């Protein structure tokens, strides 16, 4: 599935809308509180399901915080007092959000795309991998590990680090939550949790890989890649 989505021979968006309508594309320039963002996202997802609002991709940054997905284990929260901790309805385990990390909340109506959860997750992975490719970073997925990974090698060593997390939820076939891409976060902030329950691998970012990528540049790459996988977008105002 993922190889097909990333094939250069594919010209039409694999996960595009049946009517070709563009999704809204909104960027918040200042930090957005987590509880406020989730409330706005859930309200928008409900309106999409009711047919009273259009689809929306919402890019933002959060203040430093941890979120617990539906599969989170209490033992994976190593430093519970370090940052605020929020229960989240998304899939997955513990993750970190904070400045320098681009969070993209994805509110898409799969009724007008494909009612296929596995294909949707594969499309999200292809979106992130395509964006990383703009910076000559080879993002990869691994069986049994959610997210997008980067293989790193040096003299006598090799490891895989996570550069992007994926955690979504569907309600009435409308998605919410989404992806987070590490552009230039403080990677030490991940030390307060076991990220996504994975202990044997690390975390990286574009800047950590030696690429001085700005948030605006990351946004532009995400937008181009999104259009290839999901179809057209139209810039709009953020929900809050």
How many whole angstroms separate alpha carbon 168 and alpha carbon 91?
6
CB 101 within 8 A of CB 71: no
Gyration radius of the chain's alpha carbons = 17
Listed in order, strand segments (DSSP E) in 9-100 are 23-27, 56-60, 65-68, 85-87, 94-97
List 196, 206, 218, 229, catalytic entry: 196
**Residue 149 in tokens:** 């990974």
Active site residue 196: yes
Crossing angle of the two packed helices 215-229 and 117-133, in degrees rounded to 10: 130
**Residue 161 in tokens:** 């680090």
CB 59 within 8 A of CB 27: yes
CB 62 within 8 A of CB 28: no
How many whole angstroms separate alpha carbon 163 and alpha carbon 180?
9
The residue with tokens 């690390």 is: 202
How many whole angstroms separate alpha carbon 25 and alpha carbon 137?
24
The residue with tokens 């992130």 is: 128
Which residues are catalytically annotated?
196
């Amino acid at each position: 599935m993922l190889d097909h989505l990333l094939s250069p021979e594919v010209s039409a968006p694999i996960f595009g809308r049946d009517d070709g309508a563009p999704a809204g594309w909104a960027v918040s320039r200042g930090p957005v509180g987590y509880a406020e963002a989730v409330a706005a996202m859930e309200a928008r997802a409900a309106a999409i399901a009711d047919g009273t609002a259009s689809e929306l991709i919402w890019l933002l940054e959060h203040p430093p915080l941890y979120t617990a997905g539906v599969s989170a284990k209490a033992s994976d929260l190593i430093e519970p007092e370090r940052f605020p901790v929020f229960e989240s309805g998304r899939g997955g385990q513990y993750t970190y959000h904070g400045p320098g990390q681009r969070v993209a909340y994805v509110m898409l109506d799969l009724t007008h795309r494909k009612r296929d959860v596995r294909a949707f997750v594969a499309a999200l992975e292809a979106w992130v991998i395509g964006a990383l490719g703009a910076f000559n970073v080879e993002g990869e997925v691994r069986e049994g590990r959610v997210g997008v990974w980067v293989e790193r090698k040096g003299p006598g060593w090799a490891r895989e680090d996570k550069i992007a997390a994926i955690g979504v939820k569907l309600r009435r076939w409308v998605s919410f939550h989404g992806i987070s891409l590490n552009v230039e976060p403080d990677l030490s902030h991940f030390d307060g949790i076991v990220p996504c329950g994975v202990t044997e691998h690390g975390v990286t970012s574009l800047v950590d890989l030696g690429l001085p990528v700005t948030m605006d540049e990351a946004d532009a790459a995400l937008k181009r890649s999104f259009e290839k996988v999901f179809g057209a977008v139209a810039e709009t105002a953020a929900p809050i």
